[in-house]
Amino acid sequence: MKLVLMTMTLVGISSAYPLHASCKLDWVIGKSCADAITALVTQANTWHDATNCPNGAGEKCLYTVTSQSNDTIKLTHETPVHHYIDDVVFTFAPGDSTDSCKVHGSSRSETWYAVLDYSTNYCNMRNLLEGANLHTTTGFRETTNDNICTQYSTRNCEKY
């Protein structure tokens, strides 16, 4: 009986969300890719320790840059309360103008059984973007949806 209920739950969830807690998104940022990379890496390094999340409040902390190149940033984000690890990758390509950059972001929970994440994987990326003030650049656009980003439509990045 438990297996049947679990299977029905997963089938119901899978029609609205990815099968594993994760998020994919695309941004257009009104800065060069070099400037966007610098801003995101600087923000991740600023939020490396738990200082910005006293008593587990919020998740704007515990980022670790694991590698960086001219067109890719790889990092991890650790949730401050339960210490789950998510892998985050940003890839960068020149935009349609000299002062714009196309960014593809993905975040995926390392926890094998994670299905729902309260939009944590989305917020892993969005919090860095906003911390670096890249969401305020001219022509900024974001593209994602529930089909490729777990619980995107119910996101709360002040909490997660």
pLDDT, tens digit, for every residue of 19-33? 889 999 999 999 999
Q: How far apart are CA 125 and CA 156, in angstroms?
A: 13
Which domain does 107 fall in, by range? 2-154
Q: Are the beta carbons of 144 and 152 closer than 8 angstroms?
A: yes
Triad 40, 139, 133: Cα angle to 5°: 30
Q: Are the beta carbons of 152 and 119 closer than 8 angstroms?
A: yes
Is 140 a member of any domain? yes
Is 99 a member of any domain? yes
Is 43 a member of any domain? yes
User: What pLDDT is stored for residue 11 in this prediction?
Assistant: 46
Q: How far apart are CA 110 and CA 81, in angstroms?
A: 16
Q: Which pTM value belongs to this model?
A: 0.88
Q: What single-letter DSSP state applies at residue 84? A: -
Is 59 a member of any domain? yes
Q: What's 33's domain CATH number?
A: 3.30.530.20
Structural domain tally of the chain?
A: 1
Is 21 a member of any domain? yes
When the pLDDT of each residue in the chain is averaged and rounded to a whole number, the result is: 90
pLDDT band, very low/low/confident/very high, at 8 (cuts 50, 70, 90)? very low
Question: pLDDT tens for residues 68-79?
Answer: 999 999 999 999
